[in-house]
A and B are shown apart, each in its own frame.
Chain A
Amino acid sequence: METLTEAQKLLQRGEISSRELTQQALNQISALDGKLHAFLHVDGDSALEQADAADQKRKSAPEPVSPLLGIPLAVKDVIVVEGMPCTCGSRILQGYRPPFTATAVKRLQAAGMIVLGKTNTDEFAMGSSTENSAYGVTHNPWDLTRVPGGSSGGSAAAVAAGLVPAALGTDTGGSIRQPASFCGVTGLKPTYGRVSRYGLVAYGSSLDCPGPFGRSAADVAAVFSAMQGRDPLDATSQDVPFAMNFPLAHRERAGVREKDVETATTLQGVKIGIPKEYFISGIQPEVEEKVRTAILSLKELGAEIHEVSLPHTEYALPVYYLLAPAEASANLARFDGVRYGPRVEGDSMWDVFYKTRGEKFGDEVTRRIMLGTYALSAGYYDAFYGQAQKVRTLIKRDFEQVFAKVDAIACPVAPTAAFKIGAHGDDPLAMYLEDVFTLPANLAGVPGLAFPVGFDQAGLPVGMQLMGRHFDEAALFRLAHAYQQVTDWHLAKPGIS
């Protein structure tokens, strides 16, 4: 499967039809998804129908068509798409068919993208490995014995294995960036409020962000620009124009146009901060090494590198694990078996609630609901939820202070490369530590972009994270794109594909 940018060119030149592209994706899914289990649902017939319509439109349209017309897309199964089931990786929504489509997906559909199916996720996006999916784990395309990361593991694996050129995920504490890193793809957690949450099944409402996966920063930027923007159906979405004020020139496989590359890669005047709190002991040495090498590359492209400090970083994890579960405890209260989803019958109304929720929610979801309920309880609220909100403010302030001095922050995405399936089996805390470098961006609401910067000795991708100012995704794209003009990591394909 081509990258999205390549596919766009082939479509524009008429060298491939949307039907061929879509069929190719469906064939890849048939061939590989038995091993990967990236998808929970695929709707080939509908996709091919839409592809034909897209081809028709391309032929008949007098003016230039949308650059995304006829390009297949996979959607994480916590985002609703009318006509497809939405399980959220949970038994409690088995068979649920949502009556509407999420705004972000609607916008991409309006731009011509074709939703092929729904991808695997940790149950209700709670997890860092997709092992918490009620429908089985997704396997990492680079090593099938390893996790793809999570919770958007299905989407990351699908893009990495070349099943689709782009996919949507959601990021509440790192759920786009960490699987992007584990699978060697590019993934963006947008600014909170940049992409509508309408149609994203809520986990931590003040943290949740839908965002795209692609092979490159250019691919991700193309999808992002079509899905972002204020939505009257999401009161927390904001109206801030998105503009790419630099040339996203694409290096073609043959015949690099040196001048374009130079324009696109000049990072003169860009200031990048390296937070010392993100290079801690316990981090896999190769991860640190690859990230530091990538930072040097950015420096060579003209960026200034500064050491910065985000002193409250160590509190991000405890703050997150109070706030996100607290919000989740309320967000998941609606799953009671009364209006939709399966119901476990009981002797009384309360019995129905207890049994339905008790039997249909998995362990991690149950754990977080209990954590959150406790954090909000009378007598504990001030010490837990209330205190966490105060510390969240301090974490936000850390970022404000740093972003007064630098344009972006560069750091690892996760402390390690992809771990083995089952490695954190009975240790939720070890799993929580996976998110230690990604949580702060969610707490601060700033954008974060993850992209591959090399491989460890086991041949597993290593990712780097760039964080930026609120609504300044463009800065992140610019940096990652410049880097991807002079490196090939993002083009590497796993053996399985």
Chain B
Amino acid sequence: MNYEPVIGLEVHIEMLTKSKMFCSCPVVDSVSAEPNSAVCPICAGHPGTLPVLNETVVDFALRVATALGCRINPVSIFARKNYFYPDLPKGYQISQYEEPLAVEGQIFIGEKLIRIRRVHLEEDTGKLTHVDGRGTAESAENPVESQNRRAPTGGYSLVDLNRAGVPLLEIVTEPDFHSAEDVRAYAELLRALVRYLGVNSGDLEKGVMRVEPNISVRPVGTETLGTKVEIKNLNSFRALERGVAYEISRQIQLIEAGGAVAQETVGWDEAKQSTYSQRSKEDAHDYRYFPEPDLPPLVVSESWMNRVRASLPELPWERYKRFRADYGLNHGEAWGLVSEKAAGEYFQSVLGAGGGAVRTVYAWVTGELFSLMNTSGYGFESGKLPPQEMAALLKLLADGKINQNTAKNVLAEMFASGASAESIVAARGLAQVSDAGFIAQIVAETLRENPHELESYRAGKVTVANFLFGQVMKKAAGKANPQVVRAELERRLKE
């Protein structure tokens, strides 16, 4: 029998606002910051403290929800989600439940429509590190992951509240995915979106964006949904794709073997490339949601929505379409420049600064320059090598002032020294020579020096021409215009 996977996604995205969601503590990098260095009585849940909503959080969330074409609820309410865990200072998480910020959005993966069910705001929890009896630390990112785990014997757990109260956006889709590839494509598109909107870096590895798929399978042609399994701990796009693929085939194999899928939450084990059971349905929490009495309903006025709409930049899928239409890039080329936002913008700027033909600019930006940016650790967003400089270099190349090889060397030097292409070419005498008299002279010299090769050519071994061409170029120290050399050489050989 053939099976069809049905997948819905929950994505949590930290919003990198300046301060936390309900207090004035700064949002810091939870990986590198000193533990508990961005904590106050409010986010530590001291008695008597109250939350006050940071409006920038709503602004960020509205940008994402609007970009996803959601219907924004003019009035949404916050709710308390109750559970005990040492990384949850108040014993409840402020979230949204019955009236979320936004509902009913959509996004396209190629031609496929993915419906967004809801977008809501909530606060992040702190972070626990379990230290075992030998002093080995193990991060326990997800509360659910270690929900039933005790501190190892002889060990202890450390609580870091830097992340507690950092604003999170949760985006929930309808079960509209049917392949691991689409899941990955969606996640990558979402990452591009949050980067475009300046909400977040989209780093799965750092946990600032967390993707949790719900997966079930059913025989092709049937409508009823199978029992779903949720995967957590997917810390890269690769892990996401593999984890989903693994879970799909595990479920199919289980059913084929006469078994039944149990409703549970599983974790992805990167080392073993497999999932393991974390929590069964029976352990599921009753979160006892109820409206948060400390926060009035969140009212989003028409003018606020308009302001957000007007402030949206070009969105990834809009840019993708434009890149394909205006520049004639193929899918892979366009998507590459869209997902690497800074590279795409650099590419546009070089074109705008007169860098020449689209293909040439594309080839240089995504080829030579891309590898320089990567290997040097700079990125396109670093400001290293302004696009105008790159355009000037490509203009020298297009105008025949330098040849391809020289251009590569000049680029490397521009990158290293920061000098302009013109000044490097001038200082090192790298300008290409097209002077017919000079080229005729070195061609004549080369033929004189290689009488044997000239003879074999004339005897019919035409491939010798390439060798002779190389000899001429060498003699000209690479600066001779190759077209002029080729023409002169051909003329002489055929004499």
Contacts and interface: CB of A to CB of B under 8 A. Distances in A.
A338 B159 contact: yes
Nearest to B150: A348
B318 interface: no
Q: Which of B41, B90, B286, B294: most chain A Cβ within 10 A? A: B294
Interface string A364-389: 00000000010011100100010000
Interface string B277-303: 000000000101110011110000000
A233 interface: yes
Nearest to B128: A349
Contacts of A381: 288, 290
A330 B52 contact: no
Given A236-B296, A336-B91, A376 B82 contact: yes
A339 B46 CA distance: 9
B437 interface: no
A206 interface: yes
Interface string B241-279: 000000000000000000000000000000000000000
Interface in A216-258: 232-236
Nearest to A351: B150
A403 to B, nearest CB: 22
Interface stretch (A27-35, A94-102, A312-320, A460-468): A94-102
B470 to A, nearest CB: 74
B292 to A, nearest CB: 8
A378 B97 CA distance: 14
Contacts of B354: none
Contacts of B157: 349
A198 B159 contact: no
Q: Contact size class for B?
A: 20 to 34
A198 B86 contact: no
Contact of A98 (B46, B51, B84): B46
Contacts of B150: 347-350
A335 B48 CA distance: 12
A334 interface: yes
B185 interface: no
B48 A235 contact: no
Given A205-B294, A330-B82, A334-B90, A349 B151 contact: yes
B53 interface: yes
Contact of B86 (A80, A102, A338): A338
Contact of B290 (A340, A353, A376): A376
A236 B294 CA distance: 6
B294 A99 contact: no
B288 A198 contact: no
Given A99-B41, A235-B294, A327-B293, A202 B82 contact: no
Contact of A330 (B44, B80, B296): B80
A199 B48 contact: yes
B353 interface: no
A98 B159 CA distance: 20
A93 B48 CA distance: 12
A235 B53 contact: yes
B50 A234 contact: yes
Contact of B91 (A80, A100, A201, A334): A334
Contacts of A206: 293
B286 A198 contact: no
A79 B294 CA distance: 17
Contacts, number: 109
B355 interface: no
A86 B84 contact: no
B405 interface: no
A98 B91 contact: no
B288 A334 contact: no
A232 to B, nearest CB: 7
Interface in A174-212: 197-202, 205-206
Contact of B84 (A234, A235, A326, A353): A353
Contacts of B92: 330, 333
Interface in B339-373: none
Contacts of A205: 293-294
A333 B90 contact: yes
B46 A377 contact: no
B89 interface: yes
Interface string B398-423: 00000000000000000000000000
Interface in A90-114: 93, 96, 98-100, 102
B48 A198 contact: yes
B293 A348 contact: no
B301 to A, nearest CB: 17
Contacts of A409: none
A53 to B, nearest CB: 26
B151 A329 contact: no
Given A98-B48, A235-B51, A377 B286 contact: yes
Contacts of B52: 232-235
Contacts of A54: none
A88 interface: yes
B466 interface: no
A202 B91 contact: no
B290 A385 contact: yes
A80 B47 contact: yes
Contacts of A377: 286, 288
B290 A102 contact: no
A197 B294 CA distance: 9
Contacts of A234: 50, 52
B198 interface: no
A201 B151 contact: no
Contacts of B69: none
Contact of A79 (B41, B48, B80): B48
A329 B82 contact: yes
A40 to B, nearest CB: 15
B25 to A, nearest CB: 14
22 contacts: A98-B41, A100-B41, A201-B48, A205-B294, A234-B50, A235-B53, A235-B296, A236-B294, A236-B295, A327-B290, A327-B293, A330-B91, A330-B92, A330-B288, A333-B82, A333-B91, A335-B91, A339-B45, A339-B46, A347-B150, A378-B286, A378-B288
Interface of A: 79-80, 86, 88, 93, 96, 98-100, 102, 197-202, 205-206, 232-236, 326-327, 329-330, 332-336, 338-340, 347-350, 353, 373, 376-378, 381, 385
Given A205-B294, A232-B52, A326-B290, 11 more contacts: A100-B49, A198-B50, A200-B48, A234-B52, A235-B52, A330-B92, A334-B90, A339-B44, A348-B151, A353-B84, A376-B289
Interface of B: 41, 44-53, 80, 82, 84, 86, 89-92, 150-151, 157, 159, 286, 288-290, 293-296
